[in-house]
Amino acid sequence: MSDDRLHRRVLEALRKIMHPDAGKDVVSSRLVRDVEVGEGGAVRFSFAPSPRDPGSLAKEARRVVEAVEGVSSVKVNVQLPQAAGSASPSVPTPGGLVPGSVPAPTPQPGLLQNVESIVAISSGKGGVGKSMVAANLAAAFASRGNRVGLLDADIYGPNIPLMFGQDDRPQVTGEPGKEMIVPLEAHGVRLMSLGFLLDKEQPAIMRGPLISGILGQFLEQVAWGDLDIMVVDMPPGTGDAQLSLVQKIDLDGAVMVTTPQEVALGDVRRAIRMFERVNTRVIGIVENMSGFECPHCGEPVDVFGSGGGERLAEEMNLPFLGRVPLDPRVRTAGDEGVPSVIGAQDSDAAKALEDVASAVLDALAGDGAE
Ligand SMILES: Nc1ncnc2c1ncn2[C@@H]1O[C@H](COP(=O)(O)OP(=O)(O)O)[C@@H](O)[C@H]1O
Ligand SMILES: [Mg+2]
């Protein structure tokens, strides 16, 4: 087939995908651009994601092009929306939603260019289940067909390796001077954690000074590849490390994890305010370890109380994303390297976490955006 004919067929296939807002297809509305057909049917095109879409459109575009007869490979160059005011004039602004209308913190150019959405999982303090939520959300996103990365930025307590049952040493690729670390992969999620690089016995205090350097390298020198969603397991709290991290990454949103009793302490409020100060949208609050079903009598037992997360959400005018019960299977799943949404799908905890995953995807897609 001639390149021209293949080019037309590729465009034809893409024109069947509608832009979610513009009422036109993705080619006419210029979400898809610069379609090129190279030797042997290698297709590449640029994709400017719509702020209302978390990445499923780009994936659909890739899928339909891959299905075109004569296409041997597809490369999608996803172009992240520009910061406020500098949006490319050719990107349409869908109904009333101005891209970048919330001024973004100044992200470092070139970082994570091939990542469509970045979500931080944060908490006021440690031990509340932040990593558990990060691991389960990442696994849930991946099981729904997204290309997902999980950056364990909690270098004080990097427990993502344990939660994914991965403790290999990552490979390094690239020429000398331009080496890149290859993320490990488990349950369809690309993983990077200081836990992969450090000796397990190294005391946490030694890690402190490494924070900014190491995390910078995780952004710049890890071969993440193209990702639909990057989940960042943040270090708990609101210190300099947390602040510099949220300023460095162009976050699309943050999910706050709290236990019912932590709500009383104010740490979680401070953490929410930190994100608000740097104009990062807080997608909502998850209450973890909320109630416990007695395995003997089946009665719910409020170990730490419950409902605090919901009240906090109300008070701070944020969405409440759900309540994850205290469940021994959540801990054993984590210890065994299988997130509950995969290993204990029928538990209430896994169901709650799946609902949180849906809410986060909806939020990234723009539903509920002001
Ligand atoms: N809902 C839950 N039920 C039972 N155990 C839980 C639950 N949430 C978290 N855990 C366990 O509590 C411990 C702390 O959770 P983790 O996610 O590591 O907290 P953080 O990242 O906030 O420090 C882990 O052992 C984890 O498996
Ligand atoms: Mg943790």
Domains recognised in the chain with CATH numbers? 3-78 (3.30.300.130), 115-364 (3.40.50.300)
Rounded Cα distance, 249 and 209, in Å: 20
Cβ(288) to ligand 1 under 6 A? Answer: yes
289-to-154, 220, 282, 301, 307 alpha-carbon distances in Å: 20, 35, 21, 11, 11
SS3 content of the chain, % helix, strand, coil (to 5): 35, 20, 45
Inform me whether the pLDDT recorded for 340 exceeds 90. Answer: yes
Cβ(237) to ligand 1 under 6 A? Answer: no
Cβ(336) to ligand 1 under 6 A? Answer: no
Task: Indicate the SS3 state at residue 228.
Answer: strand
Mean pLDDT of the chain: 82
Q: Name the more confident of 131 and 28.
A: 131
The pLDDT value recorded for residue 147 is 95
Average pLDDT over residues 326-333: 90
Q: Name the more confident of 57 and 271.
A: 271
Pocket test for ligand 1, best of 130, 331, 347 (most atoms within 8 A of CB): 331
- Of all protein residues, whose CA lies closest to atom 3 belonging to ligand 1? 326
Q: Do residues 132 and 288 lie in contact, with contact meaning Cβ atoms separated by under 8 Å?
A: yes
Average pLDDT over residues 11-35: 83
Q: How far, in Å, from the CA of 334 to the mean position of ligand 2?
A: 11
Task: Indicate the SS3 state at residue 87.
Answer: coil
pTM, two decimals, is: 0.71
Ligand 1, atom nearest to 154 Cα? 21
**Which of 18-22, 329-333, 354-358 is predicted most confidently?**
354-358
Inform me whether the pLDDT recorded for 277 exceeds 80. Answer: yes
Q: Residues whose CB is under 5 A from ligand 2 (ion)?
A: 131, 154, 157, 159
Q: Do residues 271 and 299 lie in contact, with contact meaning Cβ atoms separated by under 8 Å?
A: no
Q: Name the more confident of 30 and 102.
A: 30
Q: What is the pLDDT of residues 209-246, one digit of tens each?
A: 556 677 777 888 899 999 999 999 998 888 777 787 88
Residue 202: band (very low, low, confident or very high) from pLDDT cuts 50, 70, 90: low
Residue 357: band (very low, low, confident or very high) from pLDDT cuts 50, 70, 90: very high
